């Protein structure tokens, strides 16, 4: 080896490739997974949406929206984000692109909105321009706004017909989840401009908010459309135990706080769901909790063993929980350990799995097969 080659080799040893040096391998029952740190330095990232060109829009809970390139470069905060209530679990939450984004450029954001009576989940949209969002308008506000900094939801999912599902927490107020005159503890379905579709289950009044799709929810932080049936699957946080996976059906009551697989934080028992067959049931429940957040159906080919699986981010599980399915039956579960709180999980256009870590110095991790 001549002197020049030796020096080049020495530089590679002393300063390894900045991306590859951040890779690690984790073992899961379905095989080894390579974990690449694609981007870092995000403050409690919450939601992620892929643009058509492969770049990512990422929300940070304190109230910033970032554009992240395919190779992990993070932009300065984009302009046009509404003022958020950045306390506790509140802040800037999910992000979704309009189905016609290529022509309309509409980007939808959910966030905790401050007000004179407290805070509540809201949805705004704006057109993505060169420096940020333009023509920003608030299209939905949770009613009523209340005090406290917990249980805002909130995931955004467009249905195949172009309607927008918004998941709303009970704001830690319990009984309003059963009150149809309130948005607390509900999943709502709205048109892209925020109006209530005429075919919503409570659109004709009946003392109910016309936007409501389903009710009796506690804190839904994961939602995704099934790729074959196009129905909405959701998971939600239980109290001490009882995280649940369900299918959100129109007009159904999911029982909170009348029933739960968990217990109140003060130790008081809650009747189990089996005591109320009139209420909608769950497909799976976790006690101890995994603290689910974020969810996607995996339809790619990069992980053949994962095709058709449901991938769920785990805050307490500190990794990705993969469920195998047969129709509406959960047939198996495996954990992909990442050692960090996972706030969101998405399938990328390249078939890789991208996850957000819920940390003060949060990261975007890219998962691919190893070996």
Tell me the catalytic residues.
151
Q: Kindly report the backbone phi and psi dihedral angles of residue 355, in degrees, each rounded to the nearest multiple of 5, phi listed first.
A: -130, 150
Structure tokens at 52: 């058509």
Residue (of 18, 51, 1, 8) closest to 349 by Cα position: 51
Whether residue 92 contacts residue 124, with contact meaning beta carbons closer than 8 Å, is answered with no
Whether residue 124 contacts residue 108, with contact meaning beta carbons closer than 8 Å, is answered with yes
Whether residue 46 contacts residue 59, with contact meaning beta carbons closer than 8 Å, is answered with yes
How large is the C-alpha radius of gyration of the chain?
21
CB atoms within 10 A of CB 219: 25
Going by the DSSP 8-state scheme, the letter that residue 204 receives in this structure is: T
CB atoms within 10 A of CB 78: 19
Q: Maximum Cα–Cα distance for the chain, whole Å?
A: 85
Question: Which ranges of 65-133 does DSSP label H, i.e. alpha helix?
Answer: 101-104
Whether residue 279 contacts residue 255, with contact meaning beta carbons closer than 8 Å, is answered with yes
Q: Give the residue carrying structure tokens 């992909």.
A: 336
CB atoms within 10 A of CB 349: 12
β-bridge pairing 118-128 and 133-141: antiparallel
Residue (of 326, 343, 178) closest to 260 by Cα position: 178
176, 181, 182, 186: CA torsion to nearest 10? 90
Partnered with residue 146 across adjacent β-strands are: 119
CA–CA dist 284, 136 (Å, integer): 39
């Amino acid at each position: 080896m001549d002197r020049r080659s030796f020096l080049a080799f020495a530089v590679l040893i002393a300063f390894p490739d900045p991306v590859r040096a951040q890779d690690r391998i984790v073992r899961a029952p379905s095989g080894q997974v390579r974990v690449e740190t694609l981007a870092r330095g995000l403050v409690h990232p919450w939601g992620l949406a892929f643009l058509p060109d492969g770049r990512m829009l990422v929300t940070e809970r304190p109230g910033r929206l970032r554009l992240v390139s395919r190779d992990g470069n993070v932009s300065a905060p984009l302009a046009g984000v509404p003022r958020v209530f950045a306390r506790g679990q509140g802040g800037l939450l999910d992000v979704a692109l309009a189905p016609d984004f290529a022509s309309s450029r509409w980007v939808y954001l959910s966030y905790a909105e401050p007000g004179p009576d407290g805070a509540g989940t809201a949805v705004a949209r704006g057109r993505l321009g060169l420096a940020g969002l333009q023509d920003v308008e608030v299209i939905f506000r949770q009613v009523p706004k209340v005090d406290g900094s917990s249980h805002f939801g909130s995931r955004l999912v467009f249905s195949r017909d172009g309607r927008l599902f918004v998941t709303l927490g009970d704001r830690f107020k319990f009984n309003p989840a059963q009150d149809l005159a309130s948005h607390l503890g509900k999943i709502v379905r709205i048109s892209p401009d925020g109006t209530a579709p005429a075919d919503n289950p409570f659109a004709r009044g009946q003392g109910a908010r016309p936007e409501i799709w389903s009710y009796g929810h506690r804190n839904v932080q994961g939602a995704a459309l099934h790729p074959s049936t196009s129905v909405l699957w959701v998971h939600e946080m239980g109290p001490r135990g009882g995280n649940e996976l369900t299918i959100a059906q129109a007009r159904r009551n999911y029982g909170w706080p009348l029933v739960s697989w968990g217990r109140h934080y003060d130790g008081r028992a809650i009747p189990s769901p089996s005591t109320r067959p009139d209420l909608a049931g769950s497909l799976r429940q976790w006690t101890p909790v995994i603290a689910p957040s974020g969810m996607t159906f995996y339809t790619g080919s990069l992980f053949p063993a994962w095709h058709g699986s449901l991938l769920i981010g785990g805050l307490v599980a500190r990794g990705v929980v993969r469920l195998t399915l047969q129709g509406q039956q959960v047939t198996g579960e495996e954990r992909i350990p990442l050692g960090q709180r996972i706030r969101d999980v998405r399938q990328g256009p390249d078939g890789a799995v991208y996850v957000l870590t819920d940390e003060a110095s949060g990261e975007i991790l890219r998962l691919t097969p190893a070996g």
